[in-house]
Structure 1
Amino acid sequence: MVKALENVHVVITGASDGLGYAMAEALLNKGAKVAVASRPGSKLTEAVKKLKEKGYTTTVFELPLDVRSERSVEDAVKWVKTEWGKIDVLVNNAGIGMRTVNPRFLAEPQPFYKVTPIGFRDLIETNLTGYFLVARGFTPLMIEQGKGRIINITMNHETMRRKGFVPYGPSRAATESLSAIMAEDLKESGISVNMLLPGGATATGMIPDDLRREIEAKFRLIQPEVMAKPIVFLASAEAEGITGERIVATEFESWLKEKSK
């Protein structure tokens, strides 16, 4: 039986766990070939092994990629050209969270002036510059093909303004500006650029395990699988011509219904 995304080749950054892993599994389930991209190491290897054990032995690929390194991005692009010869969808998802600058960021938010410069720069380098570098690396191949899709994962506007959320909030606010400009820059190239976000705090590795109960008492955590339906849609033929959109996963069904009118 032919699956909906058969022969669709997807690279997902930050896919060794959390939202990235959930999106990879959803796309694999529909027949896509998926390169699970993340910093090299046992975590990445284990994630790919786990997916292969679920039956995706010939469609899942391990792609070591440090989004902060131009050389690493170049190597990933070369791998795609050599192994696949094309890329249909790029999902920019790699990121680090507030726990890197304040482990108790939700329980005890700290003001921006207490964030260390190195902590600020490190997060921006991954969450914003990383999106830029990876998109910059793969876009020429998409332009050469005359088609392609870029999906940038972002977050709620409320989080961008939330107390104690520097630098994570600013990193994703900038991601949204970057995405909007990318969509405009690529309109004539047959390449779409859309944003996708869960719609609230998610149960991922960005939330420290020792604070999970405390945080769950204050917030209703969304499971990463919420990204499954919208990511499959954005990679499918149904999303042809859709660009510059900001899609909230928890509101996907209503968004799709409105879009279909």
Structure 2
Amino acid sequence: MAKHQLSGIHALVTGASSGLGYAMAYALLKEGATVAVSSRGGQKLSNVVQGFRQEGLDAHELSIDVRSASSIEAAKDWVTSKLGKLDVLVNNAGIGMRTVNPKFLFDPKPFYEVSPEGFRDLIDTNLTGYFLVSRAFAPMMVKEGDGRIINISMNHETMRRKGFVPYGPSRAGAESLSYIMAEDLRDSGVAVNVLLPGGATRTGMLPDEYGEVYDSMPNILSPDVMARPIVFLASPEAADITGERIVATEFDQWLQRHVSR
């Protein structure tokens, strides 16, 4: 792929201060995109953006609470004022099972032991957040007649795994949301696709005290596995691709099938 193939592209990546979001924002930036790097805000986000800018990358700090319609509306106003347009939206912000059961990998709990508050908070972030952010920015893309929305998901195994309520349902819901969004926008010039790593990934979803578990997990993936597919989906090459579910570890095979069509 040609260097700086994303020059002139304006993107927003939510949950970009660490993990998959950081890796995707960095990949887009290195290919010349202007990127609004977003999370709930704070020193961690500021440090990340400062690091990107010190490398000469066109990164901009944008605080968003994806659970808050007013916060998202303020972010939309910022994008309109500072960037003028949005070509690519990457919905990635999410929280994991650690928020309802810190020992979920070793001591999974049945769904009926999950608190209503824990269930709602995770769904509000991982599913409703995707809806709210997409709802805010899709009209800008429809007006331009062009745009890409990429919703980050996880393996189907996660949606069936013991002790994975509410994380599994949140990702299953996000995938259904994505397919319906793709159909709603099919004639608008705006594409919607699902992207997932393809395996357990070192993302910080585990509590810090269990971080050593990552080292004992076989075939643990780096968040960088998302780099090539996210750049492709943001590029002109992906203009006609919508309603697809792309697994990063299988990206080469998927791309070969697409090219051979």
TM range (shorter): over 0.9
Say whether the 8 Å CA contact 1:99–1:208 is kept in structure 2: yes
With the length of structure 2 as denominator, give the TM-score of the two structures.
0.97
Give yes or no for contact 2:3–2:31 (8 Å, CA) kept in 1: no
Instruction: Report how far residue 84 of structure 1 moved.
Output: 1.4
2:121 — aligned with what?
122
* Alignment-derived partner of residue 4 in structure 1: 5
In structure 1, C-alpha distance between the alignment counterparts of 2:42 and 2:158, rounded to whole Å = 31
Q: Measured at CA, do residues 220 and 208 of structure 1 come closer, stay the same or move farther in structure 2, by a change above 3 Å?
A: farther
Name the count of aligned residue pairs.
Answer: 259
TM-score (norm 1): 0.97
In the alignment, residue 106 of structure 2 is paired with which amino acid? A
Match of 2:83 in 1: 84
Amino acid at match of 1:260: V
Q: Where do residues 84-103 of structure 1 align in structure 2 (5 Å cutoff)?
A: 84-103=83-102
1:16–1:215: structure 2 CA closer, same or farther, 3 Å change rule?
closer
Equivalent residue, structure 2, for 1:232? 231
Shift of residue 213 of structure 1?
2.5
2:41 paired residue number = 40
> What is the rounded CA distance, in whole Å, between the counterparts of 1:233 and 1:247 in structure 2?
11
After superposition, the C-alpha distances for 1:65-97 in whole angstroms (9 at most, x for unaligned) are: 110000011011111111111100000000000
Runs (5+) with no aligned partner, structure 2: none
Q: What fraction of aligned residue pairs are identical, expressed as a percent?
A: 63
SS across alignment from 2:211: helix
Q: Determine the C-alpha separation between the residues in 2 that align with 1:243 and 1:105.
A: 34
Task: State whether residues 107 and 215 of structure 1, in contact with CA within 8 Å, keep that contact through their aligned partners in structure 2.
Answer: no
How many angstroms does 1:108 deviate by? Answer: 1.3
Task: Quote the RMSD (CA, aligned, Å).
Answer: 1.2
Q: Which residue of 2 aligns with 1:203?
A: 202
- Distance in 1 between residues matched to 2:136 and 2:169, nearest whole Å: 23
Aligned residue for 1:176, secondary structure, equals helix
Query: Are the structure 2 counterparts of residues 4 and 109 from structure 1 closer, same or farther at C-alpha, using a change threshold of 3 Å?
Result: same
Instruction: Map residues 24-39 of structure 1 onto 2, 5 A cutoff.
Output: 24-39=25-40
CA contact (8 A) 1:67 1:133 kept: yes
Deviates more, 1:116-125 or 1:43-52: 43-52
Rounded to whole Å, the distance in 2 between the matches of 1:71 and 1:47 is: 24
**Cα deviation digits, residues 101-125 of structure 1 (max 9, x gap):** 0111111111111111100000000
Letter in 2 for 1:28: L
Alignment partner, residue 223 of structure 1 = 222
Given the superposition, is the C-alpha separation of residues 108 and 218 from structure 1 closer, same or farther in structure 2, using an over 3 Å criterion? Answer: farther
Q: Which runs of 4+ in 1 moved over 6 A?
A: none
Paired residues of 2:37 and 2:60 also in contact (CA < 8 A): yes
Distance in 2, matches of 1:124 and 1:47, equals: 26
Residue 187 of structure 2: SS of its match in structure 1? helix
Q: CA deviation at 1:201?
A: 1.1
Tell me if the contact between 2:202 and 2:214 (Cα under 8 Å) persists in the aligned partners. Answer: no
Q: What SS does structure 1 have at the residue aligned with 2:161?
A: coil
Task: Name the CA distance, whole Å, in 1 between partners of 2:242 and 2:89.
Answer: 14
What stretches of structure 1 of length at least 5 have no aligned partner?
none
Q: Which amino acid aligns with 2:33?
A: A
1:60 matched residue in structure 2: 59
Q: Is the 8 A contact 2:35 2:60 kept in 1?
A: yes
1:141-162 residue CA offsets vs partner (Å, 9 max, x unmatched): 1111111110000000001100
Whether the 8 Å contact between 1:40 and 1:64 is mirrored in structure 2 is yes
Once the two structures are superposed, residues 183-230 of structure 1 have per-residue CA deviations (whole angstroms, 9 ceiling, x without a partner) of 000001110000000001110111223223235424432100000000
How far apart are the structure 2 equivalents of 1:207 and 1:214?
A: 9
**Contact 1:151–1:193 under 8 Å retained in 2:** yes
